[in-house]
């Protein structure tokens, strides 16, 4: 895809009229581009960040950057361009980053502004939302109902699972009311559970916990993962993206054989070195190149309206050649319809910066995340951590049930990565042994062998409901190097979610006790995370990168920004796709659901553009 | 022209494809990490296609009721290893001599230019020559191309003689399919009849040697021979280039950023106890891999699952050897010896341990 970076490609496009202009080459934009180019429509994709993850050699450089980085955070492999800043985990503590954290609490999540988007460093958890998640208000009297029910989205879930390449067995997933189309199964068999998963399941399966008046039985389950596994039927796992063609002079697509199966590199976040884990570049590479045009390093900055019809007539964008510089030229992209697929925050920001979408008063509001807490402990025997995908199993039984009338649902992610995330182990374990315990030689080796091998980590991801006051807005005082607004984030965690977080803490402590795992959770000694006081306790929480709600979908233009097709109520040739459309998020990682919604919108658009 | 003769030829073909793999692995893993990026991709792409060819030959043999065998001292390859063309496969680091040898393997018509600097020195490191089974079963001097041509012709003749159902009498459950074989040059063809058998064998010949007049195969990929030419000339091919004169960008070939492995080493030559132990470990993994492949070809395709772990262990053991200089060998490094040395010598060939 490197040719898309050339000036010639960027310059002749001002006069061109495309069928569709897509803003953002992440998963949503790539799926729309793939579907619509394959339907014969011309699609222009504007990508704010560089396309350095699109070509195999460039991707390899990102792998090298990760190897060389001293801090292995989610962003370590993916530095942004100067004019296209992105939130960074390290900035949450200082409060001085791309986000203007307006409080009262810091918003704990980040995303990536490069071609490929945040799928470059996602974990790959691809859970469907539960049927009851779509009717939270009518079932439990909290949150909002979706204007669609589960069955309206079910076929698109199946489509998305095949586009992404999700490994799971339906037989593991049919619980909590989740049903699949008759005869359906995932395109690939489940990733085998890790050794520690199996030990934990043996200890935990069948134990019960109480959430309010509900008594819930727990079971360790494999979760659907966007990483390549053994295919079912004729499905062929998609490995590394390598579009070099014979005679191009720099190799010949020889890397396509890489990544056809997960090889357990234990680096899913921040970067899968062999691309066995899905990233949006795979989808974009499958688009029909004859009608696809991708312009990277092109920052959409303003949506232009036709003053008479109220329809969008163009999107202004700033094109830069040098990622290290803010020097740029301004262009306008024109199409019949426009699809914003830039991320929940960036979609809302672009609308706000263009003075659009304000009629319902909902734009930018209802910002959600999954505020999550870590629990870490020492198993009584070696469990084999620090190998395999970062996680392969979870406990899903607390994702649904009547208790949701009182407090948030939660999902337990069971790690294979020891104490890496909450404490910086294994490095911090070595430092502690040498500096604090004075160990060296044989004693040091024995200490490391006996402790590292027993590290267990849970992450408990807690549901958050939409709230008008949790929002992204813009303020002319805060702009980036290109003069575009930085997101101002107002964020708080309400009683409903706090009670869920407190329950989550209780749950992991009970599970640890049951499994004979010594609780070593000590947020004061671990990696810094923001905290919130609740009923005399201090809850430390981390973001999951699960942004949602900023351009909420609904049936009523007075209460929502987009309709069920993700079409903007106020501007009928403008679509806002992504998790920003979610009325609620339940406890699912949003990527699969936003992919299903994007495919549904693409199908609608293909029909509409044909008439 | 009998089915028995066909089984003999195909059994030799499986071993022939297997024998090409260790020399490519030596070249691949002797490259110092981070250097020779394009060469690494080229070598990797070729070695995984050789693995596919071995599986395809095994599928054809299983389809006619045969039993591919790769485990055991009499079936495992030994080096230096002489192929039907008279080409000798040596275990060498990434070097001009190795490239010359690969060019010969990938094109029977190729006449080696014996100008590679270490060619002469190599002669003394060929203590004994092991002859490929493909040579042993051939009735007259042959080439790899002619060897495969004989297989295809015999297949057609026997099928015409006794009928396809009688010839393709193998249990379909013995075929290796895409669920167990992956990331290796394409999906293996399941062989059930003459058409699929010819398709499988065509792929072996097409990918391996290609058409000497056309650098690109049906997928638009450069054939092996031309991939190696790019390394020889340190120049990539552009679409308009004449055969033999690539004019594209440099390939970044640097023979100096390579662990200078001793040619055709033997574990017995490693006096250092740590190196000797590492070599034994590598041979255990190699032998276990052959046992797992043997089981996979004998009705247990799922034996390829733990074989992946074994391949990782083999790679790690190879890297340890390659990174270490050998005392008293003028700066030469140790390297994998690929000797048959199973972990349980008492029950060699039956230790089909499937646990990872």
At CB < 8 A and 24+ separation, what contacts does B84-87 make?
A: B84/B16, B84/B132, B84/B134, B84/B135, B84/B138, B84/B141, B84/B142, B84/B143, B84/B144, B84/B146, B84/B147, B85/B143, B85/B144
- Residue A229 belongs to some domain of the structure: no
What is the number of other CB atoms lying within 10 angstroms of the CB of residue A206?
10
Q: Of A540, A572, A596, which residue constitutes the final position of a domain?
A: A540
Percent of chain A past pLDDT 90, that is, above it, reads 87
- Residue A249 belongs to some domain of the structure: no
- Residue A256 belongs to some domain of the structure: no
Same structural domain, A378 and A486: no
Rounded to an integer, what distance in angstroms lies between the CA atom of residue A13 and that of residue A314?
Answer: 12
- Residue A244 belongs to some domain of the structure: no
Same structural domain, A202 and A344: no
Q: Between chains, do A249 and B220 touch, taking CB under 8 Å as contact?
A: no
The domain locations on chain B are 3-261
Q: How far is A392 from chain B (nearest CA, A)?
A: 18
Q: What is the CATH number of the domain that holds A39?
A: 3.50.50.60
- Residue A180 belongs to some domain of the structure: no
Please compute the mean of the pLDDT values over residues A360-364 and round it to a whole number. 97
Rounded to an integer, what distance in angstroms lies between the CA atom of residue A147 and that of residue A137?
Answer: 12
Helix (H), strand (E) at residue A23: strand A17-23
Domain residues for the domain of A416 are: 191-224+372-463+494-540
Closest CA to A371 of A119, A109, A100: A109
Q: How far is A263 from chain B (nearest CA, A)?
A: 9
Please compute the mean of the pLDDT values over residues A82-88 and round it to a whole number. 96
Instruction: For residue B203, give the 3-state DSSP assignment.
Output: helix
Picking from A239, A249, A253, the nearest residue to B236 by CB comes out as A249
pLDDT of residue B135: 80
Same structural domain, A346 and A438: no
Residues of chain B where predicted confidence (pLDDT) is lower than 50: 346-356
Rounded to an integer, what distance in angstroms lies between the CA atom of residue A35 and that of residue A339?
Answer: 13
Same structural domain, A482 and A335: yes
Q: Between chains, do B182 and A57 touch, taking CB under 8 Å as contact?
A: no
Residue position matching structure tokens 């960074």:
A88
| Chain B interface disruption, residue of A254, A260, A272, A276, most B CBs within 10 A | A254
User: pLDDT digit string (tens) for B191-230?
Assistant: 999 999 999 998 888 776 655 666 776 667 777 888 899 9
pTM of the model: 0.90
Rounded to an integer, what distance in angstroms lies between the CA atom of residue B118 and that of residue B124?
Answer: 11
Interface check for A230 against chain B (CB to CB < 8 A): the answer is yes
Rounded to an integer, what distance in angstroms lies between the CA atom of residue A346 and that of residue B98?
Answer: 53
Full DSSP string of B102-148: HHHHH-TTPPP-TT-TTHHHHHTT--S-EE-HHHHH-SS---HHHHH
Q: Of A540, A557, A573, which residue constitutes the final position of a domain?
A: A540
Closest CA to B246 of A251, A256, A255: A251
pLDDT of residue A77: 92
CATH number of B3-261: 1.20.1260.10
Please compute the mean of the pLDDT values over residues A238-257 and round it to a whole number. 71
Our CA dihedral for B138, B143, B149, B155, rounded to 10 degrees, sits at 20
- Residue A94 belongs to some domain of the structure: yes
Name every residue whose Cβ is closer than 8 Å to that of residue A320 and which is 6 or more positions away in sequence.
A81, A83, A297, A299, A326, A327, A328, A482
pLDDT of residue B237: 86
Q: Between chains, do A261 and B183 touch, taking CB under 8 Å as contact?
A: yes
Helix (H), strand (E) at residue A331: strand A329-340
Q: Between chains, do A246 and B216 touch, taking CB under 8 Å as contact?
A: yes
Cβ-Cβ contacts under 8 Å, B215 against chain A: 246
Interface check for A23 against chain B (CB to CB < 8 A): the answer is no
Same structural domain, A163 and A196: no
Instruction: For residue A300, give the 3-state DSSP assignment.
Output: strand
Same structural domain, A323 and A289: yes
Full DSSP string of A115-139: TTGGGGS---B-PPPPGGGGBHHHH
pLDDT band at A2 (very low <50, low <70, confident <90, very high): very low
pLDDT of residue B119: 60
Name every residue whose Cβ is closer than 8 Å to that of residue A194 and which is 6 or more positions away in sequence.
A384, A387, A388, A389, A392, A393, A416
Q: Between chains, do A249 and B248 touch, taking CB under 8 Å as contact?
A: yes
Rounded to an integer, what distance in angstroms lies between the CA atom of residue A218 and that of residue A64?
Answer: 41
The domain tally of chain A equals 2
Same structural domain, A427 and A518: yes
Q: Between chains, do B48 and A257 touch, taking CB under 8 Å as contact?
A: yes
Closest CA to B203 of B60, B38, B350: B60
User: pLDDT digit string (tens) for B227-286?
Assistant: 899 999 999 888 788 888 889 889 999 999 999 999 999 999 999 999 999 999 999 999
Q: Which residue has the higher pLDDT, A383 or B105?
A: A383
User: pLDDT digit string (tens) for A511-525?
Assistant: 999 999 999 999 998
Full DSSP string of A481-545: TTSPBPPEEEE---HHHHHHHHHHHHHHHHHHHHHTPEE---TTTSS---EEEETTEEEE-B--S
Give whole-number Cα distances, A525 to A422, A509, A521, A529, in Å: 9, 18, 9, 11
């Amino acid at each position: 895809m490197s040719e898309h970076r050339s000036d010639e490609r960027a310059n002749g496009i001002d006069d061109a009229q495309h069928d569709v202009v897509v803003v953002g080459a992440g998963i949503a934009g790539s799926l729309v581009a793939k579907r619509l180019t394959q339907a014969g429509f011309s699609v222009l994709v504007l990508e704010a960040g560089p396309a350095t993850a699109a070509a195999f050699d460039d991707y390899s450089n990102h792998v090298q950057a990760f190897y060389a980085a001293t801090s292995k955070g989610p962003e370590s492999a993916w530095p942004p361009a100067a004019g296209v800043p992105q939130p960074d985990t390290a900035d949450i503590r200082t409060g001085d980053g791309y986000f203007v954290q307006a409080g009262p609490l810091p918003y704990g999540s980040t995303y990536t502004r490069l071609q490929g988007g945040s799928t470059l460093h996602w974990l790959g958890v691809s859970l469907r939302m539960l049927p009851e998640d779509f009717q939270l208000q009518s079932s439990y009297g909290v949150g909002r109902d979706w204007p669609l029910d589960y069955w309206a989205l079910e076929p698109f879930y199946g489509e998305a699972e095949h586009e992404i390449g999700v490994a799971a067995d339906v037989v593991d997933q049919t619980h909590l009311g989740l049903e699949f189309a008759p005869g359906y199964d995932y395109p690939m068999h489940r990733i085998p559970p890790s050794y520690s998963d199996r030990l934990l399941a043996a200890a935990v399966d069948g134990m019960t916990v109480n959430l309010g008046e509900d008594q819930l039985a727990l079971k360790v389950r494999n979760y659907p993962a966007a990483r390549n596994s053994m295919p079912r039927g004729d499905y062929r796992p998609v490995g590394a993206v390598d579009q070099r063609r014979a005679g191009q002079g720099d190799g010949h697509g020889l890397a396509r054989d890489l990544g056809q199966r997960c090889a357990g590199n234990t680096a899913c976040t921040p970067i899968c070195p062999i691309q066995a884990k899905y990233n949006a570049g795979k989808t974009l590479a499958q688009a029909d190149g004859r009608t696809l045009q991708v312009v990277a390093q092109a920052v959409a900055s303003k949506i232009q309206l036709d003053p008479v019809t109220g329809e969008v007539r163009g999107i202004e964008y700033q094109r830069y050649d040098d990622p290290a510089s803010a020097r740029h030229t301004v262009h306008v992209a024109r199409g019949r319809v426009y699809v914003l697929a830039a991320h929940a925050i960036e979609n809302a920001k672009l609308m706000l910066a263009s003075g659009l979408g304000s009629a319902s008063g909902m734009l930018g509001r209802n910002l959600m995340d999954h505020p999550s807490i870590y629990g870490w402990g020492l198993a009584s025997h070696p469990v084999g951590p620090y190998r395999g995908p970062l996680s392969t199993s979870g406990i899903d039984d607390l994702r649904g049930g009547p208790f949701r009338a009182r407090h948030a649902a939660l999902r337990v992610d069971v790690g294979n990565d020891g104490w890496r995330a909450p404490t910086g182990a294994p490095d911090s374990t070595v430092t502690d042994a040498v500096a604090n315990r004075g160990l060296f030689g044989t004693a040091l080796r024995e200490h490391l062998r006996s402790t590292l091998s027993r590290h267990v980590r849970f992450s408990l991801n807690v549901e958050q409901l939409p709230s008008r006051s949790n929002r992204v807005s813009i303020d002319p005082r805060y702009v980036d190097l290109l003069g575009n607004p930085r997101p101002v984030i107002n964020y708080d965690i309400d009683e409903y979610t706090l009670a869920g977080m407190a329950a989550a803490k209780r749950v992991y402590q009970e599970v640890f006790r049951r499994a004979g795992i010594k609780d070593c959770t000590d947020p004061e000694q671990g990696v810094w995370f923001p905290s919130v006081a609740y009923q005399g306790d201090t809850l430390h929480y981390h973001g999951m990168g699960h942004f949602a709600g900023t351009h909420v979908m609904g049936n009523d233009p007075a209460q929502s920004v987009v309709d069920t097709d993700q079409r903007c109520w106020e501007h009928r040739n403008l679509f806002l796709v992504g998790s920003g459309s979610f009325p609620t998020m339940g406890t699912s990682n949003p990527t699969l659901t936003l992919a299903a919604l994007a495919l549904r919108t693409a199908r609608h658009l293909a029909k509409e553009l044909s008439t | 022209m009998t089915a028995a003769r066909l089984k003999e030829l195909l059994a030799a073909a499986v071993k022939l494809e297997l024998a090409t793999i260790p020399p490519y692995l030596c070249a691949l893993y002797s490259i110092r990490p981070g250097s020779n990026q394009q060469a690494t991709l080229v070598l990797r792409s070729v070695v995984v296609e050789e693995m596919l060819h071995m599986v395809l030959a095994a599928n054809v043999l299983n389809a006619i009721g045969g039993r591919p065998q790769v485990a055991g001292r009499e079936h495992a390859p030994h080096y230096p290893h002489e192929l039907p063309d008279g080409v000798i496969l040596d275990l060498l680091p990434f070097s001009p001599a190795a490239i010359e040898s690969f060019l010969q393997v990938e094109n029977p018509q190729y006449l080696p230019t014996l100008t590679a600097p270490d060619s002469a020195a190599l002669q003394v490191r060929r203590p004994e020559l092991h002859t490929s089974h493909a040579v042993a079963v051939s009735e007259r001097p042959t080439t790899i191309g002619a060897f495969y041509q004989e297989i295809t012709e015999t297949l057609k003749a026997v099928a015409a003689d006794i009928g396809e159902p009688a010839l393709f009498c193998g249990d379909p459950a013995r075929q290796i399919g895409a669920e167990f074989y992956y990331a290796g040059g394409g999906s293996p063809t399941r062989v059930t009849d003459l058409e699929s058998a010819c398709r499988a064998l065509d792929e072996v010949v097409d990918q391996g040697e290609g058409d000497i007049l056309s650098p690109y195969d049906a997928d638009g990929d450069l054939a092996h021979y031309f991939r190696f030419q790019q390394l020889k000339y340190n120049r990539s091919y552009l679409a308009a280039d004449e055969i033999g004169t690539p004019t594209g960008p440099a390939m970044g070939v640097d023979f100096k950023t390579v662990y200078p492995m001793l040619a055709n080493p033997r574990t017995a030559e490693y006096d250092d106890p740590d190196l000797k132990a590492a070599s034994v470990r590598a041979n255990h993994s190699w032998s276990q891999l052959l046992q797992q492949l043997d089981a996979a070809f004998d009705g247990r395709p799922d034996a390829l699952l733990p074989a992946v772990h074994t391949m990782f262990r083999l790679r790690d053991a190879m890297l340890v050897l390659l990174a270490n200089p050998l005392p008293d060998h003028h700066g030469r490094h140790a390297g994998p010896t690929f000797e048959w040395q199973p972990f349980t010598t008492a029950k060699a060939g039956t230790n089909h341990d499937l646990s990872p």
